[in-house]
Amino acid sequence: MKIGISACLTGEKVRYDGTDKKSEELLETLKGHELVKICPEMAAGFSVPHDPIEIRKEQVLSLSGKNVTEKLYKGARECLEMIMECDFVILKEKSPSCGLHKIYDGSFSGKLIEGNGIFARLCQEHKILVYSETDIEEIRRKTAGK
């Protein structure tokens, strides 16, 4: 299978704070499949590290108050092109770009709300099947053809 995946989940240090969120469990599950690594924030031209960003009332804002909505959409659209042929995509939970199910509420206080990041929304709008790293059991079944 061809599977899109948030680059930080594979060990690339592309997060806003210069770290990764490598998941050995996930990578083990995905062994033998073709992975297409994407990072909407890198594609958008954010440096690493960069100011944290969160979604507030449909706008993406940096901690310092800069409106980066258009910038992030541009990166998200580039990544969408890259994963159009994938069987499904696995995204990093809680991110304002990749988050699926949960994102921070825009107050930079660590409060989570129900919602999806900008890239996750674009994927869903284009009918791309998306999972987050928390959906490991479903991903196992899917890659095993069940």
Residues that bind ligand SF4 (CB under 6 A): 6-8, 14-15, 39-41, 92, 95, 97-98
**CB of 64 vs ligand SF4, minimal distance in Å:** 18
Q: How far apart are CA 94 and CA 117, in angstroms?
A: 8
**CB of 39 vs ligand SF4, minimal distance in Å:** 3
Give the helix ranges, DSSP H, for 86-135.
118-125
Between 15 and 121, name the residue whose CB sits nearer to ligand SF4: 15
Between 41 and 54, name the residue whose CB sits nearer to ligand SF4: 41
Between 8 and 29, name the residue whose CB sits nearer to ligand SF4: 8
- φ, ψ of residue 94 in degrees (nearest 5): 80, -10
Between 29 and 42, name the residue whose CB sits nearer to ligand SF4: 42
Positive or negative CA dihedral for 39, 43, 48, 53?
negative
**CB of 119 vs ligand SF4, minimal distance in Å:** 7
Report the b/e string of 9-37 with b at 16+ CB within 10 A.
Answer: bbebebbbeeebbebeebeebbeeeebbb
